[in-house]
Structure 1
């Protein structure tokens, strides 16, 4: 175990913030990253700053078109092919030269049911929660999403774990070399965010529901974690797979500032649907007790084009209550049970 002193922690945090500030804002982005045979208009290529003369580059450039409004469109033949995704380079010019980014455009075979496996699907098989195996099991079951939690080590490496500490090690005060030695109950190493995303991106059926955990060390570090998370998602070209959730409302707004088209839902439960819609969030994701007390929020949210998720629901009666009220998603430790209920 390595517990770093406060001055060194502050230095590492400062370096993290410096890195994030330098890399957070991409010059090019997309409003959407998926296509289907019946939905060939993908989305808008967005530019930050002055970027002109956008062109498509790379091996897949001839499979797409870009119209005068910067709408990216996949050609019908490519959309009907069996490939799960295409990597596409978009290039433009600005005052300092060329600007380019590579986007992963994903065939939208994502499942549309209501089942989000909480920390992956771990309970039914006895594997470790928040493990690669629990993600694989959620995918195998056919869950719409697999939820997982992200913290940042003392030297700014992102790890997947629910609690702020694991096996006596406070994640935020321990360097990554020590955390890499941790073994989960199923024998896996403590997964990094990069490893988890890389595994999840091997398929295009189950979405990755990424919770940015609130830092125990204060708001500044929560913001640094948020920037690091969004940077990692973009670097790995995982935008089509990832939805974000957080208990800290400032974290939710920070994600939207970094990536305005990201799907972000709020967890704490103290904001009305009106407030979430005003801040352009994707949805609410509240504890079941809050939505049972404020049942009108379900319809109100959906009227405002917000999604309604509820956590963490494990009892059959409560699962049924939210199914009857048409919750968009239900986060559960019992995905097998919920899949059975929706199949009836």
Structure 2
């Protein structure tokens, strides 16, 4: 009986290690190709959760009056977000008819979906002062809602990533730009790389280098099955994709 218990415990440990080593899927801007969905919509987040993927990625921008809204581009409906007050923007609709969500709206929806990680991308802004403001605002709101374990951060701005490392040192933070080696990223207090998949064609050794440094590795935006298979063989931790169901099927 004792031997059997030891065997079962060992088998469970191996299973857990295998699960950790397996590449996981992140829906790019949510599962926006699902019926009734739209990029960066709350519906896209909910559809990603229904698809049972690891995470749902989304983008945030800062309005002129300091409200954080969820949108990929720095413009919407003919307005430049950074130059426009939220009262003007709040009536705008996404392609599925939903109102433009604020970060608060999105986090509230995500908190009701504890099985999925929220991958929060802070877009680069024109000044470091704006980047400091949006970084601090995001971290503060996440902490106030008690979602530190459910929210992970990414950015193309190295300055934003460095700020996040100071503000939320226990969080998962990844740099997106793909222009520096993992050891340089790690030296800045950032614990992940999230690079375009073609970067890993040029630098496949960066996956192992990052793992040896205790860093996570993500590849974006991977929509072709052959590219997915190649990156899975490289043992990246995550694939960010517009085709989450196809990626799950391959894995």
What's the TM-score once normalised by structure 2's chain length? 0.89
Select the residue among 76, 98, 104 that pairs with 1:188: 98
Give distance in 1, aligned partners of 2:117 and 2:176: 18
Once superposed, which parts of structure 1, at least 4 consecutive aligned residues long, lie more than 2 Å away? none
In structure 2, what is the equivalent of residue 151 of structure 1? 61
Matching of residue 267 in structure 1 with residue 176 in structure 2: yes
1:315 and 2:224 correspond: yes
What per-residue deviation string (whole Å, max 9, x for no partner) do you get for residues 112-170 of structure 1?
A: 76100000001143621000000000000001000000001111011000000011111
The answer for the alignment partner of 1:325 in structure 2 is 234
Superposed counterparts of 1:250-265, under 5 Å: 250-265=159-174
- How many residues get paired? 232
User: Higher helix share goes to which structure?
Assistant: 2
What corresponds to 2:31 in structure 1? 121
Give 1:239's aligned residue: 148
Q: Report the counterpart of residue 297 of structure 1 in structure 2.
A: 206
Q: Tell me how large the CA RMSD over aligned residues is.
A: 1.5
- Change in 2 beyond 3 A, CA 1:204/1:222: same
Partner secondary structure for residue 233 of structure 1: helix
Contact 1:124 1:334 in 2 (8 A): no
1:334 aligns with 2:213: no
**C-alpha separation in 2, matches of 1:299 and 1:192:** 37
| Structure 2 portions without partners, runs of 5+ | 1-8, 10-21
Structure 1 runs not aligned, ≥5 long: 1-37, 39-111
User: Which structure shows the bigger proportion of residues in strand conformation?
Assistant: 1
Greater RCO (Cα-Cα under 8 Å, separation 6 or more): 2
- Within the candidate set 142, 153, 165, 2:75 is matched to 165
Q: Distance in 1 between matches of 2:73 and 2:51?
A: 25
Spell out the pairing of 1:1-344 with structure 2 (5 A cutoff).
114-125=24-35, 127-215=37-125, 217-342=126-251
Query: 2: CA distance between counterparts of 1:323 and 1:258?
Result: 32
Separation in structure 1 between the aligned mates of residue 202 and residue 36 of structure 2, nearest angstrom:
33
